Structure 1
Amino acid sequence: MQITLNIEQIRADTPLPPIFRVRQRWQTMPLTDVTATVRAELDRLGLAARIRPGMQIAVTAGSRGITNIVQITAAAVGWLRDHGALPFVVPAMGSHGGATDEGQVALLASLGITEQTVGCPIRATMDVVELGRIADGTPVYMDRFAAEADGVLVINRIKTHTSFKAPIESGLAKMCAVGLGKRHGAEIVHRTAVYGLKEQIVPMARMIVERGRVLAGLAILEDARDQTAAIVALPPDEIGGAGEAELLLRSKEMMARLPFDRLDVLVVDRIGKNISGTGMDTNVIGRLPIPGEPPPDRPVINVIVVLDLTPETHGNANGIGLADITTARLAAKIDFHATYVNVLTAGLVGLCKGGLPITLPTERDAVAMAVKTCGQPDPAAVRLVRIPDTLHLEELLVSEALLPEVAANPDLELLGPAEWILDSEG
Structure 2
Amino acid sequence: MEVKSQGVVSQLLKDTKIPKMFHARQEFSRSVIKPVEIPAVIHKELEKECFSSLIKPGMNVAITAGSRGIRNVDIITKAIVDFVKSKGAEPFIVPAMGSHGGATSEGQLEVLESYNITTESMGCPIRSSMEVVELGYSERGRKVVLDRNAYEADGIIVSCRLKPHNAFRGAYESGPCKMMTVGLGKQTGASVVHSDGMDVIAENIPTMAKVVLEKANILFAVPCIENAYDETYKIEGILAKDILSREPELLKEAFDNMPKLIVGETDVLVVDEIGKNFSGTGVDPNITGTFSTPYASGGINVQRTCFLNLSEESHGNALGCGLASAITKKIFDKMDIEKMYPNCITSTVLASARIPCVVSSDKEAIQICIRTCNKIDKGHVRMVRIANSLHIDRIQLSESYYEEVIAGKYKGVTALDEPQSLEFDHAGNVLTPVRI
Q: SS at the partner of 1:194? A: coil
Q: SS at the partner of 2:144? A: strand
Alpha carbons of structure 1 residues 177 and 393: separation in structure 2 relative to 1, 3 Å: same
Question: Would you say the 8 A contact 1:264–1:376 is kept in 2?
Answer: no
Task: Output the CA distance in 1 between the equivalents of 2:314 and 2:275.
Answer: 5
* Counterpart for residue 327 of structure 1: 328
Letter aligned with residue 382 of structure 2: R
Task: Output the CA distance in 2 between the equivalents of 1:377 and 1:198.
Answer: 38
1:423 Cα offset (Å): 5.1
Structure 1: runs of 5 or more not aligned: none
Task: Output the CA distance in 2 between the equivalents of 1:392 and 1:202.
Answer: 31
1:192-271 to 2 correspondence within 5 Å? 192-239=196-243, 241-271=244-274
Letter aligned with residue 282 of structure 2: G
* Counterpart for residue 22 of structure 1: 24
Letter aligned with residue 311 of structure 2: T
1:103-139 Cα offsets, whole Å, 9 max, x none, are 1001100011111111211000000010111112211
Task: Output the CA distance in 1 between the equivalents of 2:170 and 2:405.
Answer: 33
Task: Output the CA distance in 2 between the equivalents of 1:132 and 1:320.
Answer: 36
Task: Output the CA distance in 1 between the equivalents of 2:425 and 2:63.
Answer: 43
1:261 Cα offset (Å): 1.9
Letter aligned with residue 50 of structure 1: L
1:58 Cα offset (Å): 0.3
* Counterpart for residue 62 of structure 1: 66
1:377-421 Cα offsets, whole Å, 9 max, x none, are 544310100000110100010001112332322311110035524
Count of residues in correspondence between the two structures: 419
Two-structure CA RMSD over aligned residues (Å): 1.5
* Counterpart for residue 38 of structure 1: 42
Task: Output the CA distance in 2 between the equivalents of 1:423 and 1:185.
Answer: 47
1:8 Cα offset (Å): 4.8
Alignment partner of 1:186 is 2:187 = no
Letter aligned with residue 344 of structure 2: V
Question: Would you say the 8 A contact 1:159–1:248 is kept in 2?
Answer: yes
Q: Which is worse superposed, 413-422 or 392-401? A: 413-422
Question: Would you say the 8 A contact 1:20–1:415 is kept in 2?
Answer: yes
1:185-206 Cα offsets, whole Å, 9 max, x none, are 1111111112442111112112
Letter aligned with residue 285 of structure 1: T
Alpha carbons of structure 1 residues 315 and 148: separation in structure 2 relative to 1, 3 Å: same
1:220 Cα offset (Å): 0.2
* Counterpart for residue 386 of structure 1: 385
Q: SS at the partner of 1:140? A: strand
1:261-300 Cα offsets, whole Å, 9 max, x none, are 2110000001111100111111111232425x2532x521
Alpha carbons of structure 1 residues 397 and 81: separation in structure 2 relative to 1, 3 Å: same
TM-score (norm 1): 0.95
Letter aligned with residue 94 of structure 1: G
Alignment partner of 1:276 is 2:279 = yes
* Counterpart for residue 52 of structure 1: 56
Structure 2: runs of 5 or more not aligned: 429-436
* Counterpart for residue 308 of structure 2: 307
1:6 Cα offset (Å): 6.0
Q: SS at the partner of 1:28? A: coil
1:357 Cα offset (Å): 0.6
* Counterpart for residue 111 of structure 1: 115
Q: SS at the partner of 2:416? A: strand
Q: SS at the partner of 2:53? A: helix
Sequence identity percentage: 38
Question: Would you say the 8 A contact 1:364–1:424 is kept in 2?
Answer: no
1:46 Cα offset (Å): 2.2
Question: Would you say the 8 A contact 2:61–2:153 is kept in 1?
Answer: yes
Question: Would you say the 8 A contact 1:18–1:380 is kept in 2?
Answer: no
* Counterpart for residue 431 of structure 2: none
Task: Output the CA distance in 2 between the equivalents of 1:71 and 1:216.
Answer: 19
Alpha carbons of structure 1 residues 320 and 423: separation in structure 2 relative to 1, 3 Å: farther
Q: SS at the partner of 2:127? A: coil
